[in-house]
């Protein structure tokens, strides 16, 4: 639609179907997150539909994935902190 309007089209008279993408890149509910990220980066996508049982179950965004990865890193940091016995680990500790 943005492309149609940029070319002087009237948004009130322009049908979405005339400008929509018909070949979509989609993710499956069981796809690996790293694989989906690689597809999104390669094709410069910010959002990807997630298909499950032949229906759109969700739309995942790059922001969603980055948030999940940050949460995973926080969990790892807490685990390592518990393991070493200090927040962020002891930098002066000798193994």
Query: How does residue 86 score in pLDDT terms, banded at 50, 70 and 90?
Result: low
Amino acid 42: pLDDT:
95
Contact 49, 59 (CB under 8 A): yes
What CATH number is attached to the domain comprising 34? 3.10.580.10
79 falls within a domain = no
- Alpha-carbon span 8 to 17, nearest angstrom: 17
Total of domains in the chain: 1
Amino acid 58: pLDDT:
96
Range of the domain at 37: 2-61
Contact 50, 39 (CB under 8 A): no
Kindly report, residue by residue over 25-56, the tens digit of the pLDDT: 999 999 999 999 999 999 999 999 999 999 99
Kindly report, residue by residue over 3-29, the tens digit of the pLDDT: 777 777 777 887 878 777 788 899 999
81 falls within a domain = no
């Amino acid at each position: 639609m943005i492309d149609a309007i940029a070319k002087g089209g009237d948004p009130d008279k322009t049908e979405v179907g005339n400008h929509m993408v018909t070949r979509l890149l989609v993710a499956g509910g069981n796809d690996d997150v790293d694989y989906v990220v690689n597809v999104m980066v390669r094709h410069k996508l910010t959002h990807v539909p997630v298909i499950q049982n032949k229906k759109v179950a969700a739309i995942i965004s790059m922001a969603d994935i980055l948030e999940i990865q940050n949460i995973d890193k926080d969990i790892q940091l807490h685990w390592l902190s518990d393991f070493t016995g200090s927040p962020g680990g002891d930098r002066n500790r000798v193994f």
